[in-house]
Structure 1
Amino acid sequence: MIRPIMKDIFFLNQKSEPATIADKQVAEDLLDTLKAHEAGCVGMAANMIGIRKNIIAVNMGFVNIIMYNPKIVKKSDAYETEEGCLSLEGVRKCTRYREIEVEYQDGNFKKQRQKYSDWIAQIIQHECDHLQGIII
């Protein structure tokens, strides 16, 4: 189901809670909503659709994937950039890292650990910030 985009800053500033297998429908809704906004959006966190769960959807260029309970465990090569967000107006400056390593559970709740770089790494960092109640 395509859900409305949350714009309430108070809600977005709250930390999300761990996701469980019972949250699979939330992940499906997140993927549907990301697909509906693909012209101007490359990633989403569950709180952006009004659900405070540690779930993100990321466009990998050819497919959108779900990450449950993602945690960035390594990062390197900081740089300054500007980002926008569907939940906010305009763009804002932020610091990101070119190389990251993420632990998460995949769509089958199997534990994964992957390295990402550049654009994909930037998207994941933005969405993981959302889960911590950090908005750019």
Structure 2
Amino acid sequence: MIRPICKDTMLLSQRSAPATKDDIPVLDDLLETLRANSDRCVGMAADMIGVNKRIIAFSIGPANIAMINPVITGRDTPYEAEEGCLSLEGVRRTVRYQTIEVEFLDRNFKQHKQSFTGFTAQIIQHEIDHCDGIVI
């Protein structure tokens, strides 16, 4: 189901609870909402659809990827970036890292550890900030 975008900064500033297998419908709604907003969005976290769970989704070309309970375990090469967000007005400056390593679960709750670089790494960092209650 396509859900409305949450703009409530009180909800967005809360740390997300770990997701469980019962939250797979949230993952599906997040992916569907990301697809519906693909003309103006490359990533989303569950809090952006009003659900305080640690789930993110992002686009790499035509593919949409979901991560459950993602945690950044490594960072390298900081840089300054400007980012926008569907949940907030305007653009904000922040520090991101060129390369990150992330541990996460896939939709089958299989554990993964993967490195990401460039714009994909930046998207993932933004969405994990959402999970940590960091509003940029």
TM-score interval, smaller chain: over 0.9
Distance 1:87 1:101 in 2: 26
| Corresponding residue SS for 2:88 | coil
Write the deviation string for residues 84-129 of structure 1: whole angstroms up to 9, x where unpaired: 0000001000000000000000111100000000000000000000
Answer yes or no: is 1:99 the counterpart of 2:99.
yes
Give the aligned length: 136
What letter corresponds to residue 60 of structure 1 in structure 2?
I
What's 2:75 paired with?
Answer: 75
TM norm structure 2: 0.99
What's 1:11 paired with? 11
Using the size of structure 1 for normalisation, the TM-score is 0.99
Q: How far apart, in 1, do the equivalents of 2:135 and 2:76 lie?
A: 21
State the partner residue of 1:39: 39
Take 2:10 and 2:2, find their aligned partners in 1: how far apart are those partners? Answer: 22
Deviation at 1:135, TM superposition (A): 1.0
1:27 corresponds to: 27
Shift in Å, 1:62: 2.6
- Does residue 109 of structure 1 match 2:109? yes
Q: 1:48: Cα distance to partner?
A: 0.3
Deviations 1:31-89 (A, max 9, x none): 00000000010000000000000000011223001100000000010000100000000
Separation in 1 of the partners of 2:50 and 2:70? 18
Q: Which has the higher strand share?
A: 2
The aligned counterpart of 1:53 is 53
Structure 2 residues without counterparts, runs of 5 or longer = none
Sequence identity of aligned pairs in percent?
A: 57
5+ residue gaps, structure 1: none
Distance in 2 between the 1:81 and 1:36 partners? 26
Distance 1:121 1:59 in 2: 11
Aligned partners of 1:6 and 1:42: how far apart in 2?
Answer: 16
